[in-house]
């Protein structure tokens, strides 16, 4: 295998043709179908509009615009290693029972998870290294960015790395943050054009460069003073922290200290200094002066537009108090174990094509290696679950060895990516025949959950990416069980050897599996599948996709043949 460093400069700038385009086109079609202007058209005219859109994507090649040249050595920087020079460092040291261990506290409630990030930002004294796929310009995102700004004003060095997919139209906000002293903002694999537009407009303006911009950084990582971190599946937007008015994601994060922190910092540095990352100011341009950017940021993140989060409950679903209580007394109550963290090389997407063999350095490869060592049981949660032919062979090998496999994923009704669900549904019946236990989250059952403080009456969507192996080893991170995570996007994750953490993860999964999901099973007739649920000890059996309209089912069926599986 050629070195990724040798391939990056060439492949990062090149354009490709072929099936890479179709997944993006299908998602654009999905967006366009519900576009307000298109909704005013009659069905035949909407269909003609969609066909014209696909034709445009198929024939238009465009020109890939070169990204600016960067003196990488001049802008390189490294993490400030954790030490007892900071309050957080001293607390971490005092809490460590013995060298070589890492401590974890799971955070199933978004409100507690967001507060932990803010608390660390407020208490940091030397550095904040922050890496996210998506930071939304909403109440949560702006409050988060203001917390980073406030830390910088205290003299904390802030390095913020964001994937460029969701930054459309938000350059002024991020430039306003970057205008502050002690703050650097960089973006992964940037769009060069149409930066004031949304995803569809930016992709259309980048048709000649679409193979490059199709690859995204899906990692999530927050490190304070090199001593404490937050990892998991959550991005930074209202719907990840129970602030969404109509929908919220079901997810899981972990607060982390101990032996894995230096490795996390090294992984962050690898991305921060990579060729695929650009200082925001080299890509985003503005007519505003520095003073105007600072004033704009102050106005956007101030109390008039960005209200504070609601106060926390006294404990979460696992019985933990807010992390601030522990930090105030200087001692952390955590579960301890050995652990290691890993992330795809930032050049990974550009050195291979979708559907290629897994690189031995990839997150997916490492996770499947750990899962393959299971002796008795594997419990998994993944919002997008597309096993593919190779994954089916892997599952069959587990089942042939007598390993029980239980998978929790989204239903067609709960998923935010109906196109991806079609890739899962192709293998659903085959998995059931192999003896895999499947559970699909139900939006209606989430609303009727007997724990209404979790999501209220909002629409719940599964977003947690978890594995538990033999009830002692766990994975958590950003990786989905789909081809996109395997070979298109970059990911981050942790393998944790702790029976206590494994037990808590299963407890969290079971809250949804038993109270908010349908079990999928083969129908009694032997053909097709059905969905089984229990309501007040009464069995409910459905024979069509739960919580879906005919239109949603038809649209999924219509788009399914357009999407190459390796792009899902």
Give CA angle at 533 (547, 112), nearest 5°.
Answer: 75
**How far apart (Å, rounded) are the C-alpha atoms in residues 412 and 403?**
27
Active site includes 470?
Answer: yes
Q: Nearest CA to 17 among 248, 274, 258, 214?
A: 214
Catalytic residue (choose from 218, 348, 421, 555):
218
Catalytic residue (choose from 465, 482, 512, 547):
465
What are the CA-CA distances from residue 309 to residues 238, 447, 485 (Å)? 10, 22, 32
Q: Residues of 497-531 as b/e, b for ≥16 C-beta within 10 angstroms? A: bbeebbebbbebbebbbebbbbbbeeeeeeeebbb
**How far apart (Å, rounded) are the C-alpha atoms in residues 213 and 257?**
34
**How far apart (Å, rounded) are the C-alpha atoms in residues 474 and 538?**
34
Instruction: Please give the backbone phi and psi of residue 495, each rounded to the nearest 5 degrees, phi first.
Output: -105, 125
Q: Nearest CA to 408 among 433, 378, 434, 388?
A: 378
CB 113 within 8 A of CB 241: yes
Pairing relation of β-strands 228-232 and 253-258? antiparallel
Catalytic residue (choose from 138, 269, 470, 510):
470
Q: Nearest CA to 411 among 516, 562, 279, 275?
A: 516
Give CA angle at 470 (468, 474), nearest 5°.
Answer: 30
Catalytic residue (choose from 463, 482, 512, 555):
463
Active site includes 220?
Answer: yes
Tokens of 416: 């935010």
Active site includes 138?
Answer: no
Q: Nearest CA to 58 among 86, 35, 25, 9?
A: 25
Q: Residues of 289-320 as b/e, b for ≥16 C-beta within 10 angstroms? A: eeeebbebbeebbeeeebeebeebeeebbeeb
For 138, counting Cβ atoms within 10 Å of its Cβ (0-12 exposed, 13-18 middle, 19+ buried), the class is middle
Active site includes 20?
Answer: no
Catalytic residue (choose from 20, 134, 215, 220):
220
**How far apart (Å, rounded) are the C-alpha atoms in residues 492 and 3?**
21
Catalytic residue (choose from 225, 326, 512, 547):
225
Active site includes 225?
Answer: yes
Active site includes 84?
Answer: no
Tokens of 496: 């944790």
Only one residue has tokens 């601030």, namely 324
Kindly list the catalytic residues: 218, 220, 225, 463, 465, 470
């Amino acid at each position: 295998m050629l070195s990724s460093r040798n391939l990056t400069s060439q492949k990062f700038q090149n354009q490709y043709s072929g099936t890479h385009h179709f997944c993006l086109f299908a998602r654009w079609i999905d967006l366009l179908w519900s576009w307000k202007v298109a909704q005013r058209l009659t069905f035949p005219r909407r269909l003609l509009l969609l066909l014209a859109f696909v034709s445009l994507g198929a024939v238009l090649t465009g020109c890939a615009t070169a990204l600016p040249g960067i003196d990488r050595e001049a802008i390189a920087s490294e993490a400030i290693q954790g030490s007892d020079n900071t309050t957080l460092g001293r607390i971490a040291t005092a809490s460590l029972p013995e060298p070589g261990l890492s401590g974890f506290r799971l955070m199933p409630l978004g409100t507690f998870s967001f507060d932990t990030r803010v608390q660390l930002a407020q208490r940091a004294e030397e550095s904040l290294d922050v890496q996210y796929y998506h930071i939304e310009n909403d109440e949560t995102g702006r409050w988060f960015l203001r917390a980073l700004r406030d830390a910088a004003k205290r003299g904390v060095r802030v390095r913020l790395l964001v994937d460029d997919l969701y930054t459309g139209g938000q350059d002024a906000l991020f430039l306003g943050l970057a205008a502050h002293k002690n703050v650097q903002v960089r973006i992964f694999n940037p769009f060069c054009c149409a930066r004031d537009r949304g995803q569809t407009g930016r992709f259309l303006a980048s048709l000649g460069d679409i193979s490059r911009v199709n690859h995204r950084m899906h990692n999530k990582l927050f490190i304070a003073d090199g001593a404490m971190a937050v990892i998991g599946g959550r991005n930074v937007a209202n719907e990840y922290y129970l602030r969404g008015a109509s929908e919220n994601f079901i997810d899981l994060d972990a607060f982390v200290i101990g032996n894995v922190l230096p490795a996390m910092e090294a992984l962050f540095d690898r991305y921060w200094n990579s060729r695929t990352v650009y200082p925001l100011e080299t890509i985003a341009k503005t007519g505003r002066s520095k003073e105007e950017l600072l004033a704009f940021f102050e106005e956007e993140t101030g109390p008039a537009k960005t209200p504070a989060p609601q106060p926390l409950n006294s404990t979460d679903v696992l019985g933990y108090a807010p992390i601030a209580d522990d930090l105030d007394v200087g001692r952390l109550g955590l579960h301890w174990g050995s652990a290691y963290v890993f992330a795809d090389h930032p050049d990974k997407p550009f050195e291979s094509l979708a559907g290629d063999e897994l690189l031995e350095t990839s997150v997916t490869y490492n996770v499947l290696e750990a899962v393959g060592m299971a002796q008795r049981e594997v419990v998994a949660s993944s919002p997008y679950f597309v096993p593919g032919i190779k994954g089916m062979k892997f599952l069959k090998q587990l089942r042939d060895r007598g390993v029980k496999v239980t998978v929790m994923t989204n239903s067609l009704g709960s998923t935010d990516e109906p196109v991806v669900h079609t890739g899962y549904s192709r293998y659903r019946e085959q998995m059931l025949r192999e003896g895999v236990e499947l559970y699909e989250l139900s939006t209606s059952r989430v609303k009727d959950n007997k724990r209404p403080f979790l999501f209220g009456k909002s629409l719940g969507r599964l977003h947690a990416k978890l594995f538990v192996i033999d009830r002692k080893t766990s994975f958590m991170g950003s990786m989905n069980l789909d081809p996109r995570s395997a070979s298109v996007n970059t990911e981050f994750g942790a393998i944790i050897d702790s029976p206590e953490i494994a037990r808590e993860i299963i407890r969290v999964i079971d809250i949804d599996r038993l109270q908010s999901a349908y079990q999928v099973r083969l129908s009694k007739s032997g053909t097709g599948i059905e969905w089984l649920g229990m309501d007040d000890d009464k069995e409910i059996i459905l024979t069509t996709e739960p919580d879906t309209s005919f239109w949603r089912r038809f649209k999924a069926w219509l788009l399914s043949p357009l999407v190459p599986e390796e792009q899902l």
